[in-house]
Amino acid sequence: MINVKKGNAHSLHQTDYRGANPNPTQYGTGGTVITAGELVYINSSGVVAGVPTTGGATFVGLKGLAINNSYDGDAIESQKIAIYALDGSSIIETDQVDSNDGALNLTTYPVGTPLYPSLNTVGLVSKTNGSSGNLWEAPIGWVEGVRNLQNATPYPSGVVGSSQNYTSATESAAIAAEGSAQSPSYTPSTKSATYKAQINIPVLSIKLNVG
pLDDT digits (tens, 9 = 90+) for 52-93: 888 777 777 778 999 988 888 888 889 999 999 999 999 999
The 3-state DSSP class for residue 173 equals helix
Share of the chain above pLDDT 70, in %: 74
- The reported pLDDT for the residue numbered 156 is 47
pTM of this prediction?
0.77
Backbone angles phi, psi at 191, to 5 degrees: -65, 150
Q: Where are the domains of the chain?
A: 2-150+201-208, 151-197
d(CA 82, CA 147): 25
Closest among 29, 99, 41 to 71, alpha carbons compared: 29
Taking all residues of the chain, what is their mean pLDDT, rounded to a whole number? 80
Q: Are residues 197 and 153 in contact, defined by beta-carbon separation less than 8 angstroms?
A: yes
Alpha carbon of residue 121 to chain centroid: 13
* Cβ count within 10 A of residue 96: 22
Closest among 90, 98, 107, 80 to 39, alpha carbons compared: 98
Q: At 73, which amino acid appears?
A: G
d(CA 158, CA 154): 7
d(CA 10, CA 187): 39
173 exposed, middle or buried (CB, 10 Å; 0-12, 13-18, 19+)? exposed
